[in-house]
A and B are shown apart, each in its own frame.
Chain A
């Protein structure tokens, strides 16, 4: 049983989820403050990773970021960062690939908040940032958890993008999904089944744990207005 690929998958999913979370919360907030036309334009753009087949997305990322391209060369020479065939590259690609899964539920949550609640916070002296921190985030906690769960699960299951951008390098970018596929290709079915099972059980346990967290929260204070 190889634990390396599993550990890599979990690490990748955790990093991606964290980074996307930290980005998408303020990003969603800014979106809600924009005028509707601009917002829908940006929203549509942010859904593009859903439309492209993962391998195609991976391929284009590879082209744009490889050290043979202008951008890749620039990144390597200035901050010694190579975003292809490296774990950092996987994180970057996963963030793009899983972006809609984090953004959509958070945005939906924020838009579902009554405008009056936000205005109430302003009236009571809190600025935009304080309002985000003390009012919006606590009130959309179920949406935040859902977004994180979906992003995490989606990243664990990522294959096409990871294979393209990562290159299946053992110990570096050979995540569980790629490893399982490798075993299938070589027809080592026993290994494939075993790794899949462990991955499934782990992911399910984690998601179940997170779901029970939100359930208990919701019974405590059911959001209800007037």
Chain B
């Protein structure tokens, strides 16, 4: 019996160890809120260039950045902000400057029906119990939502009703379940689940983007990726007209094409 066990063990271990991790596939890490545009752009890239679709890894910008800094095998990183790619750049792990690729747009969303066309009225409605948003200290969309609330003096009035998601996608999940209202990214409406609710005025209102600092989503080519010519090509492709059209189509605003990096 012991011998059989040992044999099985060795077989399993050899199977396990034979699968090598460090393949040469192109890997792109991206903030969760941008997954729809990126999936489309990747497919376009593969078709246009007749190559494999890049491998996409989605998650929280913070966690992804931390992992990249600790050696994660990622070639291109699309963050939900500019600070995190900037950190990668200052640590010397970037092979390019930080380039903005999209400007996030905030909306106020409800699954039921909006009681008014004025956001402040909607928020102050006594029938509202929970308002979802992303965490302001962690997520750019959360920060923007908070700035918006402060600009209108609404923060203190609805503070007790706020419910925080780790990122704007989690806020979207809350809005579909328990929360009455949610501050979401405009691109969320492109998700299958949200499509029936894409009725402006009835289910969502635009948040004036001048009332908060811009949500600039920035990307960077990682040092490891610069060794892979495909990675650099993809990085350039993300900035092409075709890709920008896709990005705009999902509800993002487009940054001006500029050569400078850093905070806009």
Interface residues, chain A, with chain B CB atoms under 8 Å away: 11, 14-15, 18-19, 22, 59, 62-63, 66-69, 72, 82, 84-89, 91, 133, 163-164, 167-173, 182, 184-189
Contact = CB atoms under 8 A, between A and B. Distances in A.
Nearest to B36: A186
A173 B21 CA distance: 8
B151 interface: no
Given A11-B15, A87-B21, A67 B55 contact: no
B39 to A, nearest CB: 9
A90 B169 CA distance: 26
A85 B67 contact: yes
29 contacts: A15-B12, A18-B8, A19-B9, A63-B70, A67-B71, A68-B71, A69-B70, A82-B21, A82-B22, A84-B71, A85-B71, A87-B19, A167-B57, A167-B72, A167-B73, A167-B74, A169-B21, A169-B27, A169-B57, A170-B55, A171-B55, A173-B21, A184-B173, A185-B35, A185-B58, A185-B169, A187-B169, A187-B173, A187-B176
B2 interface: yes
Contacts of A72: 71
Contacts of A172: 19, 21, 23
Contact of B13 (A15, A85, A187): A15
Nearest to B70: A66
Contacts of B63: 163-164
Nearest to A81: B17
A168 B57 contact: yes
Given A167-B73, A168-B59, 18 more contacts: A15-B12, A18-B9, A19-B9, A19-B13, A69-B70, A84-B72, A85-B21, A86-B22, A88-B16, A91-B16, A167-B67, A167-B74, A170-B55, A170-B56, A170-B57, A173-B21, A185-B58, A185-B173
Nearest to A18: B9
Contacts of A171: 55
B194 to A, nearest CB: 8
Contacts of A163: 59, 63
A187 B172 contact: yes
A189 B193 contact: yes
B154 interface: no
A173 B63 CA distance: 16
B1 to A, nearest CB: 9
Contacts of B56: 170
Interface in B46-78: 55-59, 63, 66-67, 69-74
A164 B67 contact: yes
Given A62-B70, A164-B63, A170-B55, A11 B22 contact: no
B107 interface: no
